[in-house]
Structure 1
Amino acid sequence: MDKIEIRNVGVVGLGAMGGQLARHLQEAGFAVIGYDLRAEAMAAAEKSGVEPAETLSNLAARSDLIIIGVGFDSEVEAVIFGDDALLVGARPGTVIAIASTAAPTTMKKIVARASRPDLSFLDIPMCRGEQAAVDGKLLIMGGGDAATFDSCRPAFGTFSNSIHYLGELGAGQVGKLVNNLILWACISANYEGLKLADSLGVESGPLVAALLDSSAHNWAMESGVGALPMPWAEKDMTIVLKEADNARVSLPLSGTIKEVIKGIKIELGQDMPKMSDG
């Protein structure tokens, strides 16, 4: 495949993550076109120099690379296949990169349903969270055609400092699911361990300092991510379990982690996000 030249980048979903991606791209010199259903998100993006698109098809017609960052698999499909959506306006040679955390099988279903061999699809789920997005230090796990992925590296590098290509389409999502499974496992263990310590009269502050200097050290404990809102935890674990069922793989610990995380969120008063929050 010939090297693709990326100059114009469309960003679909301008929330906490997508808005920062658009900003970094614009500051690096890319022409950035943005779309979000929320007027406040569009207004904030415009202030950072992002060009607004009235419709998804309009965004697609103006973009060499389109980055999708919405919340759920169904929303990814809606922005690609809906009325006046991306496929309506996408020009031959356009690259559609799905940054949302979605099921690996969804990636392949999208390509089959699109039936557009003149387009390229990548999956580029991101790790490290909102602060890393602000700082431009996200981690990308990528899947899809290797040459196409390499052509997009300069754009991806504006908002990430660690880019890993894992293989064919869907491989990035597999990597992200494994990452999230291990992350939520650590958060679950951290929470229960500190709960035990508290019930036995040991203060968490000195104990955490000791644990971070021990074999129990983990990123979730070091970053304090378990004390922050965890809106996507149940969604992540639901995808893990569904993909395991499809592959006929037994993951008994994953089912337990899903329930533990749900219990933690109930204790902390956190809700599962609704579809409209994506």
Structure 2
Amino acid sequence: MTQALNAAGQRAGVIGLGNMGGGMALSLHRAGFAVTGFDPSPAAREALAASGMALVDSIAALVAASDVIVLSLPTSDIVEKVVLGEDGILAHARHPVILLDTSTADPTSTVRIAQALAGSPISFVDGPVSGGPKAAHSGNMTMLLGGDEAVLARLAPALDVMTGKRVRVGPVGAGHSAKLLNNLLCGVHLVAAGEAMRIARGAGLDPEEILKGINAGSGRSGVTEVNYPTWILNDAFNSGFTMKLMRKDLRLAAGLIERAGAGAPLSAEALRLWRESAGDVADSDDFNCIVNYEEKQ
């Protein structure tokens, strides 16, 4: 794979070198890409100092050294500033660049950025990811892609390195919409699975054994198959994804519901519980802690 990637001649830049962005940068670096990284945090840069990849102190330097730029940033406002700001990517793009935004972001912001980039040397793709830091470091993420198929074909060498599974779900903006719907379902499933496990305990049943039965039937979900055995039943609660991040994603999902004008009473109730849990479950806690919220009440 490394030989093929070198033959592609692509240089990769990563903006945002936290747990996810740092993992993606390392995956690209291991695969033979010439990787340039940028993060305003000295601690984030220091964490990758021994990797051998180039670390720069400006967006301008990163853009000049990159054919593919990966964004891993916390909010849509920051993405817009990094891309469209006075000292942002667009201001410094002098050659064709593919810009891949892996953040979980507001689809309306994503479309707005794509419109602003029209006619520029930058081709924009939204590709939010699942799998957490472990998958980012191992190059085994799941990515939901919104963008032109021809652009995605050019991006394939980098996607091959970073993902274990990827799905194109539509044009630019569709990736972020699909991710919000995925996280909305995850939020609903966590609340529902938490109730099922409380019912099991109240009935004097062994939740672990009951969970095996659920996972053999039609009631199973990613939450019952992965979250419960990995982070909940063992009280680990260390998935690497916080309540603060999930609450942000669910606020964005609420906006998507409103814009769609769709009836979603079950989602509305789950979103209410996530909002109200802020008084009992800290932003810094693992997002799986929502399963114990009603018990705390």
After TM superposition, is the score higher than 0.5? yes
* Equivalent in the alignment of 2:206: 203
Aligned counterpart in structure 1 of residue 249 of structure 2, from 236, 239, 253: 236
1:245 is aligned, of 246, 250, 258, to 258
The gaps in structure 2 that reach 5 residues or longer are 1-7, 287-297
The residue that corresponds to 1:170 in the other structure is: 173
Q: Which amino acid aligns with 1:203?
A: D
Per the alignment, residue 122 of structure 1 pairs with: 125
User: Who is 1:188 aligned against?
Assistant: 191
Q: Deviations over 1:136-177 (max 9, x none)?
A: 211111111211111111101112111211221111112212
Shift of 1:235: 1.3
Task: Check if 1:150 corresponds to 2:163.
Answer: no
Q: 1:239 to 1:6 in 2, by over 3 A?
A: farther
The equivalent residue for 1:66 is: 69
Partner of 2:163: 160
Matched, 1:212 2:215: yes
AA in 2 matched with 1:177: L
Corresponding position: 1:109 with 2:112: yes
2:102 is matched with: 99
- Offset at residue 272 of structure 1 (A): 8.4
Select between 225-234 and 65-74 the one with higher mean Cα deviation: 225-234
SS at match of 1:95: strand
SS at match of 1:100: coil
Note the C-alpha offset of 1:266. 5.1
Offset of residue 202 of structure 1: 2.9
Q: Which runs of 5+ in 1 are unaligned?
A: 274-278
Say which structure is richer in helix: 2
Deviation at 1:206, TM superposition (A): 2.4
Write the deviation string for residues 183-238 of structure 1: whole angstroms up to 9, x where unpaired.
21111111121123233433322222332223222211221266334442211121
Q: 1:269 to 1:238 in 2, by over 3 A?
A: closer
**Cα distance change, pair 6–71 in 1 and its aligned pair in 2 (3 A):** farther
SS at match of 1:29: coil
Q: In 2 relative to 1, CA 202–264 (structure 1 residues): closer, same or farther, beyond 3 Å?
A: farther
Q: TM-score, normalised by structure 1?
A: 0.88
Q: 2: distance between equivalents of 1:211 and 1:179?
A: 21
CA distance in 2: counterparts of 1:203 and 1:13, whole angstroms: 43
| RMSD of Structure 2 on Structure 1 (CA) | 2.2
Matched residue type, 1:139: T
- Tell me, in whole angstroms, the C-alpha distance in 2 between the residues paired with 1:20 and 1:86: 22
Distance of 2:88 and 2:161 partners within structure 1: 26
**Structure 2 Cα separation of the partners of residues 223 and 84 of structure 1:** 42
Asked if structure 2 preserves the Cα contact closer than 8 Å seen for 1:59 and 1:89, the reply is no
Contact 2:10 2:33 survives alignment (8 Å): yes
- Secondary structure (helix, strand or coil) at the match of 1:117 reads coil
1:16 aligns with 2:16: no
Normalising by the residue count of structure 2, what TM-score does the alignment of the two structures yield?
0.83
Deviation at 1:23, TM superposition (A): 0.3
Partner of 1:28: 31
Shift of 1:242: 0.8
Q: Is the 8 A contact 2:27 2:138 kept in 1?
A: no
Alignment partners' CA distance in 1, 2:252 and 2:40: 25
Bigger drift between 56-65 and 249-258 goes to 249-258
| 1:136 maps onto 2:121 in alignment | no
| CA distance in structure 1 between the partners assigned to 2:207 and 2:282 by the alignment | 21
Query: What residue is the counterpart of 1:276 in the other structure?
Result: none
Larger deviation, residues 149-158 vs 259-268: 259-268
